[in-house]
Amino acid sequence: MRIVKHIPARDVVTEFKVIAPFLAWDKMLRTAKEEYHRDKFPGCWRCRREFVDGEMTWLGQPVRGGNKLFCEACARAVRELEGEDDE
pLDDT per residue as tens, the chain (87 positions): 777 777 778 887 888 888 889 989 888 888 877 777 666 667 888 888 988 889 999 998 888 888 888 999 999 888 887 776 555
For residue 39, the model assigns a pLDDT of: 61
Contact criterion met (CB below 8 Å) for 2 and 14: yes
**DSSP character at residue 51:** P
CA angle 11/15/20 to nearest 5° reads 115
Instruction: State residue 37 phi and psi, 5-degree precision.
Output: 50, 40
Q: How far apart are CA 31 and CA 34, in angstroms?
A: 5
For residue 84, the model assigns a pLDDT of: 62
For residue 38, the model assigns a pLDDT of: 62
